[in-house]
Every structure is written in C-alpha cells, then in structure tokens.
Structure 1
Amino acid sequence: MVWKIYMHKTSMLGLGSGSLICGVVALLKLFKGETSVVEWELMSLNSLSVVFVLIFDWISMLFLSFVLLISSSVMYYSGSYMNGDKNFDRFMYLVLMFVLSMAMMVLSPNLISILLGWDGLGLVSYALVIFYQNEKSANAGMLTILSNRVGDVAILLSIGLMASLGSWNFVICSYYLMDSEWMLLKFLVMVSAMTKSAQIPFSAWLPAAMAAPTPVSALVHSSTLVTAGVYLMIRFSAALEGSKIQSMLLIISCLTMFMAGLGANFEYDLKKIIALSTLSQLGVMLSILALGYPDLSFFHLLSHALFKALLFMCAGIIIHSVGNYQDIRHMGGLVQFMPLSVAFMSVANLALCGFPFLAGFYSKDMILEVAFMSWVNFVSLLLYIMATGLTVSYTMRLIFYSLSGNFNLSVLSNTSDEDKVMSHSMVLLGVSAVFMGSVLSWLVFPEPYMICLSSLMKNMVLMISLVGGSLGYMFNLLTINYNLKSLYNYKVTVMSGSMWFMPFLSTKKIGEMSFLSGMSVNKLGDKGWFEYFGSQGLYYSFSKFFMMFNALQLNSVKVFMKMFVISVVITLLVFL
C-alpha cells in the first residue's frame, strides 16, 4: 500500500528533475549553437555501418524537456485518478515505458535506432488503450495498432531504400534527397508520419483511442505519440523543400484540419471532442510544415502540448466528478461547483482558440498570418479559414454545454474540487498555458518574422474567430431547434459528425472487403485453378505417366504390337 501511495510522487520528482535538466541543456545548446552526437557502431555490412545514434541539439532537448514536464504532471495526476484500480502498478510502469520510448524516438536521428522508440510507442500505446479490459477497448486498441503498423511498414521500406545512401542518418541525408531519385522514399516517410499523426485516411484511430484512461489521453494522445509523426517530418523537412510531396501533404493536412473541426461540432463525447481538436491542430502543424516553415510547426507543437494536456486533465476531473459520464449533455453549470477546474479548462480552451497573449495565440496567429502571406492555393486558404472558425465554434459549444448553461446532473450534484492531488497537478501546466507561449516565441524566434499583409487579411483571423464563436454559442442556445433542424439534413449531419464515415470505412468496410476478396481467392484460387494446375493436376498427370511406364514394364506382346503399328504409321506419313 505504501508503494501505491508514493509511486506517483517519486515518478513526478524524477521526471520533473529530468525536465529541468533537459531544459537547461536545451538553452545552452540554443545560445551556443552546438549539437552533440553520440554514435555506437553495432556492426558493419560491406560498406554499410549499422550504428546506434543519439543527437543532443536544442530541438531534441527542448522537446524532451516538455515531454518529461507533461509526464511528471500526468504521473502525479494518475496517483489520484487511478487510485482505486487494482492494476495501478502496471499502469504506472506502462506510462514510464511510454516516456522511455518517446525519449528514444526524440533523440534518434537514424532510421535504424529510431525503430526502438517508434515501435515502442505503438506497442505501449496498444497496451494502454486496452487497459480497461472490455470489448470497446479491445476494438479501439486493434484499430490503433493496425493503423500504426502501416506507418511501421513504411519506415521499414524506407530503411531498405536508404541503404544505397550508405547511411541511415536522415538529419544529414535529407539535404541530398532529390525528387528525381528519392520520390518514393519521401512518400514513404510522409505515409509513416501521417499514420502516427492520424491524418486522412488514417484518422479513425485517434478518437477511438479515447477508450484509454484519461491520464493516458493527456499524455499519449495529445502531446507525445501523435506528435511523433510531426517531429519526424520536422527532422526530414530539408528533403521536402521544393518537392512535390509538399503540395500533397498540404492538401491532406488541410482536409484533416477541416474534417476534425467539423466533426467536433457534432460530437457529444467530451473526450472525443478534445481528441478531434487534437487532430485539427495536428493538421495545422503539418500544413505549415508543408509550406516550408518547420520552425513554426515545432513552435506550435510545443505550445499545443501544454494546453492540450491541461485540457485532458480538466476533462478527467469533470468526468471523475459527475459519475463517469462523458456525454456533455449530462453536464452543465459546472462553474458553480468546480470553479478551479473550470478556470483551468477555460484557460486551456481559450489558448486552443488563440485568445490573445495565451500560449496558443503566439504560435497559431503567426501560423495563420504566414499561411495567408504564402503562395498557397485557394482551396487550402479556404480550408484554413473554415477550420479556424470551426475551432472557436466547437470550443464555445463545449463551454456552453459543460461549464455554463443549465445544470443537467439531476441527483448527481456532489461535484467539487476537493481532490487536491488532481487539482495541484494542473497548476504547473495552467501557468505554462498562460506564459510559456511568449517565452517560447522569444527563445525560438529571437529575430521576428517580416509579415506583410493587407488590413483585411491582417484582421481576418480575428473576424473568423468572432464569427465562429458567435455561431457556435448561438446555435447551441437554441438547442432543441438546432437538433431538430439537423434532422432535416440527416445524411449531411451523419456524414459530418462521423468524420466522413472514416471509422466505418476503416473497420467494417475493410473487414468486409478482405472477407469477400478472401472468399474469391479461396474459391477461384485454392479450390479452383491452383488445384487444377497445382497438386491435383500434378497428381493426375503423374498418375497417367506412371501407368504408361508400368504397362511398358510388364513386357506385354499387345503393348509392343501397338507401339510397332503406331511407329510404322508415323513413318509412312512422314516419308509419303
């Protein structure tokens, strides 16, 4: 029992100390402009050296510092959230294994050594998604791991292609990859990043993975696992400059951003709304990366990790307090009972919307202004504008249903902020969500960007946010009429609210297609032509052949007379 009480505290102290050390090292590396590389040669194959490499530069150390900071808060938070669980120790060990895998992935600039972290993330996330052992969790875990295996296969194929370069160090080699020779390699790396970061058509697994415990969602599915693909593309960004892959990645990420924002406006599950907002922000990161600004993508990755982890932790407290309900229609008026949690959740929500001078504002506002200034096609620009409005819309909808509005909990009115462990664990992230955006902008961008926009385009972000927020709040004030009106366009509503049928297509349809194609192969192949030309055909041919030999070995006069007559006839036909 003593171990259960103190394990979350020791983990928090250890990870917090590691975060502080990594942060100091990152600042030293940033100010001095240094990069340290540790290399260990495992074996040599002809001219290829299989090496285990660790890179310590300001990007890897700063990201690792943020991962450890969020992990320490989540571990302390789990001490109360998972307190009554009989598998508490197993949960804590799994989370620590996940943090170790993430560290391996962040510090590896080599496609061979990155596999340790990359596959570790997939395996441990599967174990965490199926932690609550029921059918829903099992299905979600299977969808998660099978979707991620597509990216793992792409990484393995990339290793085979990069073997001809003589090195698997993608940080160095990415400067020498031309489109004419390495288009397939770039495409495979993009696919692996898309599966990890749940871009279209691999988006279905991210909302499904919300079957995991909420601390897992706060750590794994907001700031670490899903950003692994973005981090890989940031490291590969030199190979994308001037590549055709850029335009492909841009349109896919913009579509993901719009689709997730649209789906969140029709969703009622609290955790799935936050998961869809994560999906939308991942689209923002990859889209600005595709435009050629990896530093901006990294900036948004860090600031988003802080307020999104805080948002998940607030959601966990609310779910815990209202009797494990996740439907936002069963909440409402929580500001009267949980003022501290609601305050933190409001800060996280406003940071997500890009409210001025919070963490999300500095990165998101700069991303949108740079996107408006870039040579971007009209479709992508339109998707940017609509996705920004939808983000504010679903945030206001979430605030209306859960934090303000009418009290809908009926007899479940014993909600409060009395859990000190969960409340205290959010303080550090809450302060970071307010101040860390400006601090990061000073560190990452010591020289400001030169942005030239017309007054209309400059004020576009503010106008979109105001319109989106107003529509989101007004539509939900008219709750009954709004829901009844949506039934008139039932097909459009279902399509918008179900991520464009992606979960359906990713599970049932693929299963049906594989089953039907398997039946066809079995009928035409295994029980058809393969039998005719394969085992049964060979058996029939050999049987006839050996029967003829057997007849010849019997020394029968009839056989020899037949053969003599046949040979005479053939001779006469040939010579006459």
Structure 2
Amino acid sequence: MLWSVSICYVSFVFLFFMSMFLSMLGFYFIMNDMIIFIEWEIFSLNSSSVIMTFLFDWMSLMFMSFVLFISSLVIFYSEEYMYGDLMMNRFIILVLMFVLSMMFLIISPNLISILLGWDGLGLVSYCLVIYYQNVKSYSAGMLTALSNRIGDVALLMAIAWMLNFGSWNYIYYLNVMSDSGIMYIVAGLVILAAMTKSAQIPFSSWLPAAMAAPTPVSALVHSSTLVTAGVYLLIRFNAVIVDNSLGKFLLLISGLTMFMAGLGANFEYDLKKIIALSTLSQLGLMMSILSMGFPKLAFFHLLTHALFKALLFMCAGSVIHNMKNSQDIRFMGGLCIQMPLTVICFNISNLALCGMPFLAGFYSKDLILEVVSLCYLNGFSFFLYFFSTGLTVCYSLRLVYYSMTGDFNSSAFHPLNDESWIMLGGMVILMFMAIMGGCMLSWVLFPIPSMICLPIWLKMLTFVVCILGGWAGYELSKFSLSYNLQSLKFYLMSFFMGSMWFMPFMSTYGVNYLPLMLGNYVYKSFDQGWSEDWGGQMIYKQSKSYSSMVQWWQNNNLKMYLISFVLWLVVLMMLLL
C-alpha cells in the first residue's frame, strides 16, 4: 500500500511539472513562431534506415501540456477514489501507459509512429474499460475495441497508400498534394479512422458503453486523450479536407452526431452517460467547425472543453462515490445542501459547458457559433448548430434540477459529505482553470482580436437559443411525472431518441446476427467442411496411407519377398507346362 501511495504522488508531481514546462515552452514557440522537427535514426541496415520523427510546434506542445496537466490531477484524484483497490499500482501504470500513447500520437508527423500511439490508446483503453471485470464491462470493452479496430484498419490502409509518395511523413505532402486524387484517398481513410476514434455516426455507440471504466479514466478519456485523438489528427490533415466533398460529408455527419447526442442526453437517467453524450455533442461541434476550414478554432475548443469536461467527470465521480456507486439521477436531489463544494465545482463546469459568458466554454463556443453565422452555410447545418446548442443547455439544466435541487431521494441515513479532500483538491484546481482557462488561451491563440460584424438578430441568436434551451429543460424536468407519462404515450419515438437512434443495437445485434453468424456458417461449411475434406485433410490421409505402405515395405526383408516371388513364379510355370 505504501508503494501505491508513492507511485500516485510521484506520478502526480512528475506529470504536473512536465505540463508546466511544456506549457511555457508552447508559449515561447507561439510567440517566436518556432517549429522543431527531429529525426532520430534508430538503426540502419544495408542503406535502409528506420527513422523516428518528432514534430514540436506550438500546437503539439500546448496539447501535451494539457494532457499531462489533466492526467496528473486525475492520478491525484484516483488516490482517494480508488482507495481500497488491491491493484492500485496496475491502475496507475495503465493510466501512465495511456498518457504515453497519447504523447506518441501528438508529436508524430509520421503515419507509422501515429499508429503506435493510436493502437496503444486502443489496447490500453480496452484494459481500462474491462477494469472492473464483470459481464457489462467485458461487453463494453469488446464493443470499444472492435469499433476502434475499423479505424485502425483504415489507418493501415492509409499507410499502404502513402507508399505512392515515397515517405510516410504526411506533413510534407499536405499543402503540395492537396489537389492530388491519391491524397484524397489517404484523407478519406484518415477521416474514417478519426470518425471511429471520435465516435461520430455510425460509430457512436461505444462512447457511452465505455462508461463501464472507473470514473477517473472517464475523466481522462473524455477530456483530452482517446476521443480527442481523431479530432487532433484531422486538425493536422485539415488542408486536404476543406473545400471538397470530404469536408461537406464530415460537416453533415458531425452535425447529425451533435444533434443525436443532445437529444439522447435529454432522455438519459444515468449520470455518467449524460456527461458522455455531452462529450459526443462537443466532439460533433469540433468536427463540424473543422470541416468548415477553421482548425485553430477546433483546437481552441478542444483545449477549453478538456478543462471543464474533466472537472465535470471528477464532480460526477465524487457524487457517485458518496452515493455508494449509484449513478441514477432520480435517486439524487438536494445535493447542494449535502455537498456544497462539489456542487459549486459541478455547476461551474456545467455552466462552462453551456457557454456561460466569461467561463472557459464561452470563449470557444460563442466564437464558433459567430463564425458559423458569418460563413456561407446551408439552412440544415445552421439549424443543427444552433438547435444542438439549445439542447446542451436543456440537458444541463435537467441534470441540475434532478440532482441538485429538491429533496434527497435515497436512503434517509445516507452518508453524503464533502470530506474527501484529495478529490476536492484536484477539482478545485480544475475549477479555477475552467473559469480562467478560456480567456488565457484566447489571449495566446488569438492575440489580435478579430471583428465579427453580424446583424443584431444573428448576434443575439446564440444567447436566445441558450435561454430557450434552459427554459425547456427546466419545464420538462419540473413536470417529471407528466413528462414520463407523455414519453410513454410516444413510446417508440422516445425509445428511438433515447437509444441513440438504435446505434447500440446495430453495433451489437446487427454485427452479431448478420456478419458474425454468416462468417460462422461459411467457416463450418467451407473451412471445416468441403475445403477441409478435399484439401488439407485429404492430403493428410493420402500421405498417411502412402507413408504406411512405404513403412511396411521398409519393415520387411525385400530379398525374401523377391525369392518367394521367383519360387512362386517357377512353380506356376511348372504347373502350366
């Protein structure tokens, strides 16, 4: 146990100071417009050399500092959340491996080394999702792993296609060959990989299922590591995506993902799944603004979202910890009286998610929506942007109404308290970042303020949509009994919206009953049937019989057979004569 305490604190201190160092380095790089490209020759054999490449620019350094900062606080938080776990060391080492895989992915300008980090994230995420070792965790882990394997295969195909260029360093070819048809194929495969990692439609079902992992892992995964890997890769590939059919396709898919996740969260009662669906909605927002050709804005929202989403999950973990592992928001209520400090952090992160002015989410979200209003955009995508923003406020206020207000709906002698000082320490640090992080990042990333001139109705549209969404969420929750009865009247529609448009069923039963059953039949009838009987098994049987015959000849005296054969021949001839 002493070693587990030391590994927690050592990891926390090391990662925290590394993040501070990298953030200062990132500020220095962005002020001086510096990029460092490192090539490390691992070994050379007969004029063929294996070279590892690293790209250090302001984007990779800033992102690494945020990942390390959040992971350090998550490890610090895990010390108390995972207290009593006999395998604490294993858990911390898995989290550190997860962070290391993300580091590989961030600093790689090379598709081969990206695959190292990409597959590392997939494998370690599987280990973390099945950490609690029950049937639900195993199912969720398998769904996560298999969904991400599609993206891994797409990335492998992109690596094979990059052979057309003579090198796997994609960073060299983006601007030069963005008009090339070959690069479109590579970009299409990378988009498919990013859609699986960032859980866009139709690969969205694994994201809420991955909530089977411990809450500290959810805080890390949903803020800055696994799900953001796809967005980060597309930020790097942005030059090839914009102004063509790939960008338009991505805009439609990400807009629908944003809309679907916002609708689904309003029908959900599991605390962690509501926050997971809000992550899915924000990923759709990042992807959609990215497909319109604003990678810097997508990166800005990626960083601000990481701050308040990690805080939101940590607060949810504290509530679940105190509720003795109950995650149903209908059993909560009146938490603001029982756990005031946790509720303060929870509400600040929730308001930052909604885009409350001068919190972290406001600086990125409001800017994205104003840029969308300024661009040439079709009516359907415009509707998806603003309606999804309203839905975000709607489910956030619904969550606050169910969990924070009213009376406590569980056992009367429930031991709710705010005495978990280790968990609160990490939450309070992140709370200050969720308040101040947005303005600090906007000063650094956009030092020259840009003027966005819009008509007053467009300028106020974001604010009005947020107010209307919040009012709708409050009204729906206030009449919770009648709301449930109304949803029973329209049961099929409620079931469709609340089950992520049937995607979990298609990802499990659809894959199970059609391709896997078909594969089983083919395997039984061909691999273990005719092809076996006429192929390998027949060759084996024939070879066995021939070798037995040869062995029988070798085990006997051939001369005796010849003499007896000649004698029989002589006798036969004598009889015939």
TM-score calculated relative to the size of structure 1: 0.90
Question: Counterparts of 1:49 and 1:288 in 2: how far apart (Å)?
Answer: 39
> 1:232 and 1:325 mapped to 2: Cα distance?
36
| Residues in 2 aligned to 1:515 and 1:11: alpha-carbon distance in whole angstroms | 43
The aligned runs of 1:418-457 (5 Å cut-off) are 418-457=419-458
SS in 2 for 1:174: coil
Aligned partners of 1:48 and 1:163 also within 8 Å: no
Instruction: Write the distance in 2 (CA, Å) between the matches of 1:380 and 1:353.
Output: 20
Matched with 1:203 is 204
Residue identity opposite 1:3 in structure 2: W
The corresponding residue for 1:41 is: 41
Aligned match of 2:487: 486
* TM-superposed deviation, 1:172: 2.2
Which residue in 2 is equivalent to 1:562?
none
Amino acid at match of 1:350: L
Q: Check whether the contact 1:49–1:167 (CA below 8 A) recurs between aligned residues.
A: no
In structure 2, runs of 5+ residues without a counterpart are 541-577
Q: Is the 8 A contact 2:26 2:57 kept in 1?
A: yes
Deviates more, 1:237-246 or 1:318-327: 237-246
2:164 maps to 1:164: yes
Partner of 2:9: 9
Q: For 1:311, give the aligned amino acid.
A: L
Q: Deviations over 1:250-302 (max 9, x none)?
A: 00000100000000000000000000000000000000000000000000000
Q: Secondary structure at the match of 1:39?
A: strand
Q: After superposition, what is the alpha-carbon deviation per residue over 1:188-242, rounded to whole angstroms, capped at 9, x for unaligned?
A: 0000111110111111111000000000000123321100000000011112232
Separation in 2, partners of 1:275, 1:287: 19
Aligned match of 1:386? 387
Residues 437-468 of structure 1: CA deviation (Å, up to 9, x unaligned): 00100100112233232111111101110111
How has the CA–CA distance of structure 1 residues 455 and 514 changed in structure 2, closer, same or farther, with 3 Å as cutoff? same
* Corresponding residue of 2:231: 230
Contact in 1 for aligned 2:222/2:309 (Cα 8 Å): no
Query: Pairwise mapping of residues 326-405 of structure 1 onto structure 2 (< 5 A)?
Result: 326-405=327-406
The equivalent of 2:562 in structure 1 is none
- 2:264 and 2:498 in contact (8 A); partners too: yes
Give the counterpart letter for 1:33 in structure 2: D
Query: Paired residues, what number?
Result: 542
Q: Give CA-to-partner distance per residue, 1:155-209, whole Å, 9 cap, x none.
A: 1111111112112112221112325332221110000111110111111111000
Residue 571 of structure 1 is matched in structure 2 by none
Whether the 8 Å CA contact 1:22–1:61 is kept in 2: the answer is yes
Counterpart-to-counterpart distance in 2, 1:288 and 1:429: 26
Q: Distance in 2 between matches of 1:45 and 1:383?
A: 55
Aligned to 2:313: 312
Distance in structure 1 (CA, Å) of the matches to 2:187 and 2:206: 24
SS at match of 1:426: helix
8 Å CA contact 2:223–2:307 kept in 1: the answer is: no
Task: Give yes or no for the alignment of 1:264 onto 2:273.
Answer: no
1:44 Cα deviation after fit: 7.1
C-alpha contact 1:102 1:121 (8 A) present in aligned 2: yes
Pairs within 5 Å for 1:54-65: 54-65=54-65
Q: Which piece of structure 1 moves more, 373-382 or 485-494?
A: 373-382
2: CA distance, partners of 1:481 / 1:421: 41
Alignment match, 1:325: 326
SS at match of 2:224: helix
- 8 Å Cα contact 1:359/1:434 also seen in 2: yes
When the two chains are superposed, the root-mean-square deviation of aligned CA atoms in Å is 2.2
Q: 1:94, 1:516 → 2: CA distance?
A: 34
Secondary structure at 1:442's aligned position in 2? helix
On the 8 A contact 1:48/1:166 being kept in 2, the answer is no
Sequence identity percentage: 55
CA contact under 8 A between 1:253 and 1:283: conserved in structure 2?
Answer: yes
Q: Distance in 1 between matches of 2:198 and 2:494?
A: 26
Contact 1:194 1:202 (C-alpha < 8 Å) held by counterparts? yes
Structure 2 Cα separation of the partners of residues 147 and 50 of structure 1: 31
Q: 1:180 to 1:4 in 2, by over 3 A?
A: closer
CA distance in 2, matches of 1:525, 1:459: 65
Which letter maps to 1:81? Y
**Deviation larger for 444-453 or 319-328:** 444-453
1:119 aligns with 2:119: yes
Determine the structure 1 residue equivalent to 2:251: 250
> Residues 412 and 162 (structure 1 numbering): CA distance in 2 closer, same or farther, change over 3 Å?
farther
Are 1:502 and 2:500 counterparts? no
Distance (whole Å) between structure 2 residues aligned to residue 47 and residue 173 of structure 1:
24
Question: With structure 2 as the length reference, what TM-score do the two structures score?
Answer: 0.90
- Per-residue deviation at 1:118? 1.1
Q: Map of 1:138-153 to 2, 5 A cutoff?
A: 138-153=138-153
- Give a deviation string over 1:339-383, Cα, whole Å, max 9, x none: 000000000000000000000000000001111211122111111
Q: 1:527 to 1:75 in 2, by over 3 A?
A: closer
Q: How does 1:16-27 map to 2 (within 5 A)?
A: 16-27=16-27
Gaps spanning 5+ residues in structure 1: where? 540-576
Query: How big is the shift at 1:523?
Result: 7.2
Aligned to 1:461: 462
Secondary structure of the corresponding residue to residue 112 of structure 1 = helix
1-structure distance, mates of 2:479, 2:48: 66
Report the residue type matching 1:145 in the other structure. A
More deviation, 163-172/173-182: 173-182
Paired with 1:412 and 1:63, the residues of 2 have a C-alpha distance of: 44
Inter-CA distance 284–46: structure 2 relative to 1 (3 Å threshold): farther
Deviation of 1:55 after TM superposition, in Å, equals: 1.0
CA-to-aligned-CA distance 1:292-338 (integer Å, 9 cap, x gap): 00000000000000000000000000000011100000100100010
- Report the 3-state secondary structure (helix = DSSP H, G, I; strand = E; otherwise coil) of the residue aligned with 1:41: strand
- Distance in 2 between residues matched to 1:14 and 1:536, nearest whole Å: 59
SS of residue paired to 2:53: strand
2:350 aligns to what SS in structure 1?
Answer: helix
How far the C-alpha of 1:43 sits from its partner, in A, is: 6.1
**Does structure 1 retain, via aligned residues, the 8 Å contact 2:183–2:240?**
no
- Judged with a 3 Å threshold, the aligned counterparts in structure 2 of structure 1 residues 18 and 192 are, in CA distance, closer, same or farther, namely same
Partners of 1:166 and 1:372 in 2: CA distance: 42
Q: 1:141 to 1:455 in 2, by over 3 A?
A: same
Answer whether contact 1:50 1:112 (CA < 8 A) is retained.
Answer: no
* Farther-moved stretch of structure 1 (397-406 vs 445-454): 445-454
Worse overlay, 347-356 or 525-534: 525-534
Structure 1 contact 307–348 (Cα < 8 Å) conserved: yes
Q: Following superposition of structure 1 onto structure 2, how do residues 264-283 of structure 1 map, counting pairs within 5 Å?
A: 264-283=265-284
